[in-house]
Amino acid sequence: MQLIIETHGAVRCVYTEAINLATIGQLSIARASHVEPDEAGRWLADLAPVGGPRLGPYARRSNALAAEVEWLQKYWLFTEPPA
C-alpha cells in the first residue's frame, strides 16, 4: 500500500486493509471508481468519480479490479489533487 502525504498533512492512497488507517488520524474515505457487470456479464471499471475513463469490458471481475488499481496508481495517486 502506497501512502501519499500531502504538504498540508492529508494522506491519499488506494484503500486496502493492509494497515489500519485510523491509526494515523480521522478518515475521510471516498469512492474512486465502480466495478460493475454489464448486461452481458462482462466487467467494467468506471473511474468517473476521479475524472477517469471507463475500462473494459473484462471477462473476469478480478481483471477489472486489477485494471482499476493500475489506473488509479498510474493516473490518480501520484498527481496533485484539485485545489
Number of domains in the chain: 1
Tell me, what's the pLDDT at 11? 87
Model confidence pLDDT, tens digit, residues 4-30: 988 888 888 998 889 999 998 898 888
Give pLDDT tens digits for 31-83. Answer: 999 999 999 999 999 999 999 999 999 999 999 999 999 999 999 998 865 55
pTM equals 0.83
Q: Tell me the residue range of the domain where 9 lies.
A: 4-77
Per-residue confidence (pLDDT) for residue 53, from 0 to 100: 97
Residue 17 lies in a domain: yes
Residue 81 is predicted with a pLDDT of 58
Total H helices, total E strands in the chain: 1, 5
Inter-CA distances, 72 with 4, 27, 39, 42, 47, Å = 13, 19, 25, 21, 8
In a domain, 82, yes or no: no
